[in-house]
Amino acid sequence: MSRKAIYLLGIVLTILLGTWLYALFCCNNCCLKVKEDLNSKSKALNNAQNESKTAFSKNGFGFTTSNLHYSCADNFTFNFSDGKVVLPISDSIDLGISKLKTVLDSSDLKFAIKGFYSSKEENNSIFPDLGLARANAIKNYLVDKGIPEHKLELFSELNDKKLIIDDNIVHQSTSFGWLSKDINSTEKKDWNVVRNEIKATPLVLYFETGQSIINLTESDRKKLGVIVDYLNHVSDAKIAIEGHTDNVVGERNTNEYYSKKRAEFAQNYFISNGIPAQKIEVFGKGAANPIAENETEEGRAKNRRVEVTIK
């Protein structure tokens, strides 16, 4: 074999050896990296689809799905010891809400709103705690922006460390996330049962003429919380507020007039506390349905009442 042939053969063998070594080591590494990238993307997708483990946002308004992430530093704010949203809302939150609406309109996800409150605050709302009052206020704002009400779930948490209170304004008052699918399946309520329980034991309120607020007990607030929860989950449900009187006829107007006025007072109070006006109906029943004897002042006082139930 000539020297030139040996030289050419050496070149060919070198190329073949180099190709084999590249395939053996480099491609394996490349394939491994591709596999790791795919696993990473798959994990991220699964996390996004199961974010319904209700991992709430830490600070501002935001959410994450498999193909969309939105977050902003802004959050809803409230006055100290108050459950009404401080207006106006920032443009960045409104932009996030419009994106959230697009997600909810095209999926079966449910958005969770958790309101925080401090042990230093006084609960003057109709809700069991200020956290729920705040979550409900944000829910109303989102519904006004076109978010379907049945896609929203409310939670609350006493958290003195979470809230930042500056000049009587409560910051970082709310967290947001996706409702856990586990919660959604295992804690599903029978709303017919809830409805029957509410109608069997309506909320009864007593107050004197001239009162500017209704003094609610802790038990009253819990019952109202159940009623509001029912309204949030049952389409077309409404609160029925019935005013009642004793059998003593007023000098200028009838008992029906006074009972209706009593019911309207409760209606306005509930509206001012975050219950949509279109979800409330009022009735004046007069003295037709006493719950006590009208022969005594004590009995008449019990008959001068408002009953709150669902229609």
Q: List, in order, residues 6 or more apart from 181 with CB less than 8 Å away.
A: 50, 52
Quickly state the pLDDT bin for 31 (edges 50, 70, 90).
very low
The answer to whether 61 and 176 have CB atoms below 8 angstroms apart is yes
**150-194 residue pLDDT tens:** 999 999 999 999 899 999 999 999 999 998 765 554 457 899 999
**101-154 residue pLDDT tens:** 999 999 999 999 999 999 999 999 999 999 999 999 999 999 999 999 999 999
Q: Is the pLDDT of residue 8 over 80?
A: no
Amino acid letter, 19 = T
Lookup: tokens for 248:
């003593």
Q: Is the dihedral of CA 226, 232, 235, 236 positive or negative?
A: positive
Q: List, in order, residues 6 or more apart from 26 with CB less than 8 Å away.
A: none
Domain-wise residue ranges, the chain: 1-49, 51-184, 191-310
- pLDDT value for 30: 45
CATH code matching the domain that covers 191-310, chosen among 3.30.1330.60, 3.40.50.300, 3.10.310.50, 3.40.980.10: 3.30.1330.60
Lookup: tokens for 239:
């609160």
Lookup: tokens for 176:
């947001």
**239-280 residue pLDDT tens:** 999 999 888 876 556 788 888 988 999 999 999 999 999 999
d(CA 98, CA 200): 41
pTM: 0.77
d(CA 291, CA 300): 9
Calculate the alpha carbon distances from 189 to 4, 133, 146, 185, 283 in Å. 88, 21, 25, 9, 29
Q: Is the peptide bond before 148 cis (omega within 30 degrees of 0)?
A: no
Torsion of CA 76, 78, 81, 82, to 10 degrees: -100
CATH code matching the domain that covers 51-184, chosen among 3.40.30, 3.30.1330, 1.20.120, 1.10.10: 3.30.1330
